[in-house]
């Protein structure tokens, strides 16, 4: 039945056009923003998960910064300790020469005194932003957060007990009578310095490895968020073309439906 008061065909065409226009607007928004789930109303479950993961990503960026800071601090201490090892090797060479009786022990002692001052200077200057792992009078340890759980993911770097093991001020002055004693003291300090340098190197590797892991984990989280919330541009492009075609057809259908009542005039001619 055709009615001049109710156009059922036009109503159906109008609802179809509204639906197509709504889907077209949604697709255009997804393409322009790059987000398939940009707000909670798009998909509340996916949006909540993605926001939680984005929070973790931001936190891991801070963790990575802390690890970078820790690496730099340990690197300064490690470089300082390696230099101390080289200095003690030179001191050992001088002490070995001092064991001989036909040398100028005063000049050797003067050289040793300069080396002692150099070691003290290295210890005092091996500081990064106030943290000095070679001077236990400044800091006993360095705590670096390596993850999001402060209770279990904290990496502790133990400082070097330089006050007792690298106490150059307490070393015996070299004379012809005690050269062997001085040599023994230097060898003890050299052994400690080598072990300490190896420890700092291992600590540096641990921080570097953890930083690499955090970086890869952060990349995985970003990829996961992208998979859940970002727009698949290939699919969106195809959907946009289809919806534009549907829109044109819906407009034509509505136009045809609106012309239907006018055909009734022919019945009254």
Return mean pLDDT, the chain.
89
Instruction: Note the pLDDT of residue 99.
Output: 86
What would the mean pLDDT of 16-31 be, rounded to a whole number? 89
CA 218, 224, 227, 228 dihedral sign is: negative
Is 204 in contact with 71 (CB distance < 8 Å)? Answer: yes
Measured in whole angstroms, how far is the alpha carbon of residue 128 from the centre of its chain?
20
Model confidence at 41: pLDDT above 70: yes
CA distance 133 to 79: 11
Closest by CA position to 27, among listed 255, 259, 247, 231: 231
What would the mean pLDDT of 30-48 be, rounded to a whole number? 87
3-state secondary structure 85-121: HHHHHHHHHHHHHHHCCCCCHHHHHHHHHHHHHHHHH
Per-residue tokens: 198: 């190896």
Instruction: Note the pLDDT of residue 1.
Output: 63
What would the mean pLDDT of 154-181 be, rounded to a whole number? 88
- pTM, entire model: 0.76
Quote the percentage of the chain above a pLDDT of 70. 94
Q: What angle do CA 24, 36, 51 make, to 5 degrees?
A: 150
Domains and CATH numbers, the chain: 44-229 (1.20.1330.10)
């Amino acid at each position: 039945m055709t009615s001049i008061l109710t156009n059922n065909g036009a109503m159906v065409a109008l609802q179809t056009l509204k639906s197509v226009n709504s889907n077209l607007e949604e697709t255009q928004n997804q393409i322009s923003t790059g987000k398939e789930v940009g707000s909670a109303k798009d998909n509340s479950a996916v949006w909540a998960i993605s926001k939680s993961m984005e929070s973790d990503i931001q936190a891991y960026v801070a963790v990575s910064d802390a690890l970078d800071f820790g690496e730099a601090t340990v690197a300064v201490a490690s470089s300082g300790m390696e230099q101390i090892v080289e200095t003690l090797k030179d001191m050992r060479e001088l002490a070995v020469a001092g064991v001989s009786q036909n040398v100028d022990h005063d000049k050797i002692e003067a050289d040793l005194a300069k080396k002692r001052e150099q070691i003290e200077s290295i210890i005092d200057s091996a500081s990064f932003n106030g943290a000095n792992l070679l001077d236990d009078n400044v800091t006993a340890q360095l705590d670096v957060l390596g993850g999001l759980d402060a209770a279990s993911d904290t990496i502790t770097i133990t400082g070097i007990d330089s006050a007792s093991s690298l106490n150059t001020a307490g070393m015996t002055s070299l004379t012809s009578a005690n050269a062997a004693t001085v040599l023994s003291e230097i060898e003890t300090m050299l052994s400690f310095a080598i072990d300490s340098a190896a420890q700092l190197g291992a600590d540096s590797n641990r921080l570097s490895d953890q930083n690499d892991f955090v970086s890869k984990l952060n990349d995985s989280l970003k990829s996961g968020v992208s998979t859940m919330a970002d727009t698949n541009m290939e699919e969106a492009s195809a959907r946009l073309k289809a919806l534009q075609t549907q829109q044109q057809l819906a407009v034509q259908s509505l136009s045809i439906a609106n012309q239907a009542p006018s055909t009734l005039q022919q019945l009254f001619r």
